[in-house]
């Protein structure tokens, strides 16, 4: 069983923000399948041996919702998709068993599951060509992308969708060789 978590913040006001790339990748994976809600913890879709889930708690509390759904399955393969301030806009890294690197949503998952041994698809949101120097990262991650940035974002969202499919069919090492660069 693959448990694929997309991180973001719930609510329409956050839909297109930098912090919600995980939700956007899951929407691509889901296609037209309807999202179901479980008592405010997760929106989810079950497809064969895959469960897509979007924690419906704010980013810093994501681990609570992830633990709730993770514990319902016998040793699921966890893949978490999220934004990454430390990577350039449009870049992507597939990694496993690494620290949170200061990402509060990931740290919440690590704290709740008491492990960092899961796969992460990190999607870069920092535009090195931007004049914005990110003095307050909390404000920055809640901003929407510019029209120019959105074109780059759409490409990386498709790449992330492809990375999930490669992880499932060909494994971590091949996904890393294809998508890390």
Q: Which residues belong to the active site?
A: 19
CA atoms of 102 and 77, how far apart (whole Å) = 23
SS3 content of the chain, % helix, strand, coil (to 5): 40, 25, 35
Would you state the torsion angle of the CA atoms of residues 91, 149, 11, 35, taken in this order, to the nearest 10 degrees? -60
Residue 115 exposed, middle or buried by CB count within 10 Å (0-12, 13-18, 19+):
exposed
- DSSP string computed for 14-47: GTTBGGGHHHHHHHHHHTTPPPEEETTTEEEEEE
Q: At 63, which helix (H) or strand (E)?
A: helix 62-70
CA atoms of 78 and 115, how far apart (whole Å) = 11
Tokens read off for 114: 């008491």
């Amino acid at each position: 069983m693959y448990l694929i978590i997309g991180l973001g913040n719930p609510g329409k006001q956050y839909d297109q923000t930098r912090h919600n790339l995980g939700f956007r990748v899951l929407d691509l994976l889901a296609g037209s399948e309807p999202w179901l809600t479980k008592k405010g913890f997760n929106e989810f879709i079950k497809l064969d041996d895959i469960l897509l889930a979007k924690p419906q708690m704010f980013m810093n509390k994501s681990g609570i919702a992830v633990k709730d759904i993770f514990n319902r399955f016998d040793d699921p393969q966890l893949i978490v998709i999220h934004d990454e301030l430390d990577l350039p806009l449009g870049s992507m890294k597939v990694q496993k068993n690494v620290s949170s690197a200061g990402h509060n949503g990931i740290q919440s998952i690590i704290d709740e599951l008491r492990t960092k041994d899961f796969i992460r698809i990190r999607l870069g949101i920092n535009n090195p060509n931007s004049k914005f120097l990110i003095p307050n990262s909390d404000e920055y991650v809640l901003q929407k992308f510019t029209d120019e940035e959105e074109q780059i974002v759409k490409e990386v969202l498709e790449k992330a969708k492809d990375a999930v499919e490669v992880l499932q069919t060909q494994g971590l090492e091949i996904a890393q060789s294809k998508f890390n660069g």
